[in-house]
């Protein structure tokens, strides 16, 4: 059932899809995108196939899933996942994930859900991704929920409450799953830490007490790991400029990050889906704030499920001047890492890159 209370942030309905698909098919870059997804089809044949798509589910189970499979085949040396057997058909969940790539973190989960459950989740993304009309059509056709990140303090709070109400509505009444990152923006330093503000937001949209509100969401921690972060050099430059107090996001920066995340090599990629968090796990000990406790529990789960890669072990050894994990990486990986460092050509930036890759090992050792 459609609920017009959420028209300002919801994805497209099936009835709105045909017009969106016409605009996507008319996009000047559609032939290139179509050639990537379906190299054996002409642009006109791909358009015809697109026009025959009648539902969001149909679009996601064909075009979107085929695109993700092509990304996996062309830009990774293997995609693996664990924990999908924890998910029950017909049960809705809130996936709370670490966030490394703007789009792929959530869309790789969609691939798994299609393969295992036959149904995707809704995805919460910042409105910065909707700066271009074509991006609006692409993302809203793939169940994106828009969240505003600007405005006055009161408007921002009301926006978070509105988002939370929609998420509760989807999960509790529509029995639809939702994906959200553990904090605003991607993790750029390799440290996966949940923002307590996200937990507070999740409790805003329910008329029940905060603990029960979280229980009702069926929270599932999720962790994604990339051997090579496709946007690592871009992240290093952003962190470096931020530390100098000079960082200003370029108008096309988010779009460049989306494209780079899709086409750049990633090496091995692993997605870990955890078991749903229990009420006992969510309930804080006496004297501890609920949001702080749940954020800590999520950090423990997400960091603990992170699949440490060869690049993480190598960076740890480079950071500490040791050979503790020398059997975890090859000379080829070491050479590739050194080539990345040479591209930065600045000692402080090189140090940031090494720390970015080493931090997941440091986090794991602290668990």
| DSSP letters for 268-289 | EEEEEE-PPPPHHHHSPPTTS-
pLDDT of 131 higher than 80:
no
pLDDT digits (tens, 9 = 90+) for 79-88: 999 999 989 9
Fold annotation for 79-306: Glycerol-3-phosphate (1)-acyltransferase (3.40.1130)
Q: How far apart are CA 213 and CA 210, in angstroms?
A: 5
Can you list the pairs that 337-343 forms with residues at least 24 positions away whose Cβ atoms lie under 8 Å?
337/311, 340/232, 340/233, 343/233
Q: What are the CA-CA distances from residue 25 to residues 5, 33, 64, 134 (Å)?
A: 30, 10, 14, 10
Q: What's the chain's average pLDDT? A: 94
pLDDT tens per residue across span 280-294: 999 999 999 999 999
Checking if the pLDDT of 180 tops 70, the result is: yes
Q: What average pLDDT does this structure show over 198-226? A: 96
The residues spanned by each domain of the chain are 79-306, 313-366
């Amino acid at each position: 059932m459609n609920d017009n209370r959420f028209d300002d942030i919801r994805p497209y309905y099936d009835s709105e899809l045909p017009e969106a698909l016409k605009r996507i098919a008319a996009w000047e870059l559609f032939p290139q995108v179509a050639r990537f997804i379906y190299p054996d089809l002409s642009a006109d044949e791909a358009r015809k196939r697109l026009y025959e798509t009648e539902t969001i589910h149909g679009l996601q189970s064909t075009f979107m899933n085929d695109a993700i499979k092509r990304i996996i085949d062309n830009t990774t040396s293997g995609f693996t996942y664990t924990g999908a057997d924890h998910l029950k058909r017909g049960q809705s969940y809130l996936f709370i994930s670490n966030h490394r790539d703007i789009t792929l973190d959530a869309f790789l989960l969609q691939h798994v859900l299609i393969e295992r459950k036959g149904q995707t989740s809704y995805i919460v993304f910042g409105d910065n991704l909707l700066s271009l009309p074509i991006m609006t059509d692409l993302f809203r056709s793939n169940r994106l929920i828009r969240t505003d990140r600007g405005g006055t303090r009161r408007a921002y709070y009301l926006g978070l409450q509105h988002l939370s109400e929609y998420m509760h509505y989807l999960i509790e009444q529509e029995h639809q799953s939702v994906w959200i990152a553990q904090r605003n923006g991607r993790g750029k330093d390799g440290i996966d830490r949940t923002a307590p503000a996200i937990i507070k937001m999740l409790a805003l949209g329910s008329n029940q007490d905060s603990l029960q509100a979280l229980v009702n969401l069926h929270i599932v921690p999720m962790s994604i790991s990339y051997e090579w972060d496709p946007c690592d050099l871009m992240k290093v430059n952003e962190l470096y400029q931020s530390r100098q107090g000079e960082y200003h996001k370029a108008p096309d920066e988010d779009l460049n990050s989306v494209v780079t995340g899709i086409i750049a090599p990633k090496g091995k990629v692993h997605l870990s889906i955890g078991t749903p968090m229990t009420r006992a796990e969510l309930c804080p000990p006496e004297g501890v704030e609920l949001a702080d406790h749940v954020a800590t529990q999520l950090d423990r789960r997400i960091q603990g499920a992170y699949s440490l890669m060869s690049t993480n072990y190598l960076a740890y050894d480079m950071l500490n001047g040791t050979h503790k994990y020398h059997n975890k990486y090859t000379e080829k990986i070491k050479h590739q890492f050194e080539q990345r460092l040479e591209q930065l050509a600045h000692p402080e930036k090189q140090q940031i890159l090494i720390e970015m890759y080493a931090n997941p090992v440091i986090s794991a050792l602290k668990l």
